[in-house]
Structure 1
Amino acid sequence: MRTSIATVCLSGGLVEKLHACAAAGFDGVEIMDADLVGAFESPEEIRALCARLGLRIDMFQPFRDVEGVDPVTFADTLRRAEAKFDVMERLGTDLMLVCSNVGTATVDDDAVAAAQLGELADLAAARGIRLAYEALAWGRYVDDYRRAWRIVQLADRPNLGTCLDSFHILSRGHDPAAIEEIDGDKIFFLQLADAPALDMDVLSWSRHHRLFPGEGAFDLTAFLGHVLAAGYRGPYSLEVFNDTFRQTDVGRTAAHARRSLTWLADRTAAAHDWGIDRLPDPQPARGIDFVEVAGESLDAVDEMLAQLGLTFRGRHRSKPVRLWSAGEARIILNEQRRDEAPLVAGLGLVVDDARVAADRARALGAPAVYRRTYAGEQELPAVAAPDGTEVFWGDRSGSGSWVEEFLGGDAIPGPLDGVIDHVNLGYRWQHFDEAVLFAGSVLALATESTAEVPGPMGLVRSQVMRTADGVVRLPINLAPPTAPVPPRHIAIRCDDVVGAARRARAAGLRFLRMPANYYDDLAARFGPALDPALLEDLRELDLCYDRDGEGEFIHLYTPRVGGVFFELVERRGGYDGYGAASAPVRLSAQRAAG
């Protein structure tokens, strides 16, 4: 697989973009005309830089408004083309993207379009240049890849082919199956982009909301399968117009983009059972082994866990780390991070084969994490997520055996018995899509639901990533651009939250205070369906409540300690949500608490 990326996908100047593309492992680039025009480096200097970086300039783009025009306009088009052919020769590339006309077309006639594209192709052929004709989704007359292919066939020039762009095809709802009817040798280039399912005009959708593969709603696995079945053997290139990606760190975005292509190629190969090199098999998580909280001073977290009823299991025999547990829920406190407030910093997952999981993660570009282990200690392979969160894998056959490395714990278990229900992760607005792709591609989690929660500083977008059986759930929260990153929290599920709350209250823990108006609203919303005695318990203990047709959800929140807090939850019946209706109240209560 040869990989490529359009420079429009990235922030910064052209030289910065090229360095980032090479560092991320791309084989080539599409040079955007606007990026070159804005660069102080000459085409020859850009060509030399690409050669030094090991990047091939796969295509120069775009050339617009060619076909379907009057003779006077077309004469000027040929003049413009000659000037751009000069630039291409200086860059050392032989392929130009020609977009279907959106601005100057006045003639809706395939024969005219073919004749004009043919004449342009003849001009290009004299310079050794090929043209890839692409149907834009908002083209004046040509907005369907099938019509673009018919025009290419009518023009019948060896140096004129087509470019297939997943966004332009899938955003219009066109059936990609007909791609297999195109001669693979005449598919000169392939551009890939994902996108969310939005109801808006296609031009705005394209210009602002494209995503990298694996982050949106398009079935790119099936799309790419059709392209490869047609016989295409050129680069897989990304062309993603996105306001966020054009503002984020260029190196990080390039690495993010490269991961998406690796993931898509592997998914497509698996779906079609092609005998090509594949990534190591995904390792679905069988459970959460532990969650790690790290920071300089964690005494307040120790106290809170004790008040909640967790059991102190001891200190690690060789590291400044201690362990608390509540049944199968295990929380590690790590004081090796200096000058940092407490935060959720690591996650341990149980899988069938930890080594395979780590190998797959590294193949997808996740850097390995090194932690010193001594003789007799269990080694857990790990990588760093894009935000620095460390992900560890342990074999299901030896799950929890590392617990024996902790010494001096309490002999009598505490009163709380539970499991990790979910771990809520907060991200800055510019890293949200990257986090979703990492969870899907590296952790083998699937997207469950997306919600927007109104908070005191704007809408918080939440995307749940989970295993099919729900034993691992990671809600990923996106902070509004002007708001701080949402604190992360660990939710422990138990069988009796009311009882656990009373014990914690008796131990001196005060939960996040909820307003009286919240409980009045619960009474109004649920009426007689909500047991009055339970409602009084909720009021007394600052508990939260939700219900649906499947069951009930009772939960409580602790105060924050640095950048982390805890939640106790009880699921009754088949309730499978997260108490979304209470989330806006919780956000306001946390802001009021400071």
Structure 2
Amino acid sequence: MALDPATLTTIPTSYASCSLGNPSDPPPLLDRLHAIATAGFSAIELSFPDIVSYGATVLGHEPDPKNYDELCKVAEAIRSECDKRKLGIMMLQPFANFEGWKEGSGGRKDAFERARGWTRIMHACGTRMLQVGSTDTPLDKLDLEKVVPDLRELCDMLKEHGCKVAYENWCWSTHAPDWKDVWKIVTEVDRPNIGLCLDTFQTAGGEWADPTTESGLLEDISKMDLIYRFQESLDNLAKTIPKEKIYLLQISDAYMVPEPFSNEADEQGLRPQGRWSHDFRPLPYNSGYLPVVDVTTAVLRTGFRGWFSYEVFDGGPEGKGKNIDLVAYAETASNVHKRLICECAGKKYTGPR
């Protein structure tokens, strides 16, 4: 069934605060907020590292990442700056390595302390949604029987504050790398305030592409079979997930890496897809190679018309960073959104690129 173009014009747009400028050396936060607002976005995803770094402006020093009294003061200041620019704060992100720690472990104690602290930050900055990425903690440190109960407990904690969980499959996760994995977990959690954060990079970067191969694609099957398998997965997504259980769609593409990555984790324990994510994620239509339109169309086929959020980490084709004009880049992202919507509806885009 073709998508009705008229229904796509109402989709609200957001831009992740951490996603403008050099991923390794981000420009000042207020410069990024100005560019995002100037380009016509309605809201931001507020990145926790931006709260920590902006603390130097508000407090005169960077707060400790666990000093929630100070972090809340900074979050309130960022909310005020967003209000000045008529930007909402759609979500706080990225809450990582939360679920599944073994009982009595230091990781488990830390996870729930962070959950309580981040809930305070959400209240301070005025957002009601927390992004939780499927953990990449090594499996030998996890008790997978605790994943669902942990997320239930988090949902119940947030429900007291009128907040919800957007659970995302990170394609380098050790236990839930695909959309099917996180959807199964969400259905088992069975709470009204948990849904999915879907992502074009995480979906195609896990089920279609592979930064460790010469072709840049998964090579466990033939190219033709890969196309068939991936389309089958997208068809399944479109038929399976209720639109109300999708809280947002994050959008980015990926560059082919200059040389295939090693299959081994790096010194920080980050797996190859995680390294790829950090520096090689441009806007769609800007030299990437993922089937972004296909993924987006599948999500729209569910009936979802909620937030599209642009989350890119564009270090250039070499992944070494590049200087950009922030306003021009944000305006390009706005035009990308228009083109993406147009192509998902099967129309030819004739506007600015």
Q: What is the TM-score when the length of structure 2 is the normalising length?
A: 0.74
Following superposition, the deviation at residue 90 of structure 1 comes to: 0.7
Match of 2:250 among 162, 182, 191: 191
Following superposition, the deviation at residue 111 of structure 1 comes to: 4.2
Contact preservation (8 Å) 2:102, 2:143:
no
**1:19-418 mapped onto 2 (5 Å cutoff):** 19-39=34-54, 40-41=57-58, 42-72=74-104, 73-103=107-137, 105-106=139-140, 111-173=145-207, 175-180=233-238, 181-198=240-257, 199-200=260-261, 201-215=272-286, 216-244=288-316, 247-270=323-346, 282=349, 360-361=350-351, 364=352
Structure 1 110/231 Cα, relative in aligned 2: closer, same or farther at 3 Å? farther
Cα deviation digits, residues 418-470 of structure 1 (max 9, x gap): xxxxxxxxxxxxxxxxxxxx3xxxxxxxxxxxxxxxxxxxxxxxxxxxxxxxx
Q: Secondary structure at the match of 1:30?
A: strand
Q: Secondary structure at the match of 2:346?
A: helix
Structure 1 44/113 Cα, relative in aligned 2: closer, same or farther at 3 Å? same
Contact preservation (8 Å) 2:102, 2:142:
no
Match of 2:220?
A: none
Aligned length: 277
Gaps of 5+ in 2: 1-10, 22-26, 59-73, 208-229, 262-271
Structure 1 78/104 Cα, relative in aligned 2: closer, same or farther at 3 Å? farther
Q: Secondary structure at the match of 2:202?
A: helix
Give identity over the alignment, percent: 30
Following superposition, the deviation at residue 246 of structure 1 comes to: 6.5
Inter-partner Cα distance in structure 1 for 2:174 and 2:79: 34
Match of 1:557?
A: none
Structure 1 86/45 Cα, relative in aligned 2: closer, same or farther at 3 Å? same
Cα deviation digits, residues 397-424 of structure 1 (max 9, x gap): xxxxxxxxxxxxxxxxxxxxxxxxxxxx
Contact preservation (8 Å) 1:67, 1:105:
no
Contact preservation (8 Å) 2:91, 2:130:
yes
Richer in helix (by share)? 2
- What is the letter of the counterpart of residue 14 of structure 2? S
Structure 1 230/143 Cα, relative in aligned 2: closer, same or farther at 3 Å? same
Following superposition, the deviation at residue 109 of structure 1 comes to: 6.3
Inter-partner Cα distance in structure 1 for 2:236 and 2:281: 23
Cα deviation digits, residues 148-172 of structure 1 (max 9, x gap): 1100110111111111111111012
Inter-partner Cα distance in structure 2 for 1:211 and 1:76: 33
Q: Secondary structure at the match of 2:313?
A: coil
Cα deviation digits, residues 320-374 of structure 1 (max 9, x gap): xxxxxxxxxxxxxxxxxxxxxxxxxxxxxxxxxxxxxxxx44xx3xxxxxxxxxx
Inter-partner Cα distance in structure 1 for 2:191 and 2:140: 24
Contact preservation (8 Å) 1:70, 1:106:
no
Gaps of 5+ in 1: 272-280, 283-359, 365-437, 439-594
Contact preservation (8 Å) 1:164, 1:187:
yes
Following superposition, the deviation at residue 112 of structure 1 comes to: 2.2
- What is the letter of the counterpart of residue 149 of structure 1? W
**Higher RCO structure (Cα 8 Å, ≥6 apart):** 2
Match of 2:17?
A: 7
Structure 1 104/77 Cα, relative in aligned 2: closer, same or farther at 3 Å? farther
Following superposition, the deviation at residue 93 of structure 1 comes to: 0.4
Cα deviation digits, residues 485-522 of structure 1 (max 9, x gap): xxxxxxxxxxxxxxxxxxxxxxxxxxxxxxxxxxxxxx
Structure with larger Rg: 1
Inter-partner Cα distance in structure 2 for 1:262 and 1:213: 11
Q: Secondary structure at the match of 2:345?
A: helix
Match of 2:265?
A: none
Following superposition, the deviation at residue 196 of structure 1 comes to: 2.7
Inter-partner Cα distance in structure 2 for 1:105 and 1:61: 23
- What is the letter of the counterpart of residue 167 of structure 2? Y
Following superposition, the deviation at residue 178 of structure 1 comes to: 2.4
Structure 1 107/230 Cα, relative in aligned 2: closer, same or farther at 3 Å? farther
Match of 2:222?
A: none
CA RMSD of aligned residues (A): 1.9
Following superposition, the deviation at residue 74 of structure 1 comes to: 2.3
Q: Which shifted more, 109-118 or 85-94?
A: 109-118
Q: Secondary structure at the match of 1:191?
A: strand
Following superposition, the deviation at residue 249 of structure 1 comes to: 2.3
Structure 1 168/149 Cα, relative in aligned 2: closer, same or farther at 3 Å? same
Inter-partner Cα distance in structure 2 for 1:152 and 1:109: 17
Q: Secondary structure at the match of 1:38?
A: helix
- What is the letter of the counterpart of residue 16 of structure 1? D
Q: Secondary structure at the match of 1:4?
A: strand
Following superposition, the deviation at residue 176 of structure 1 comes to: 2.6
Inter-partner Cα distance in structure 1 for 2:273 and 2:150: 27
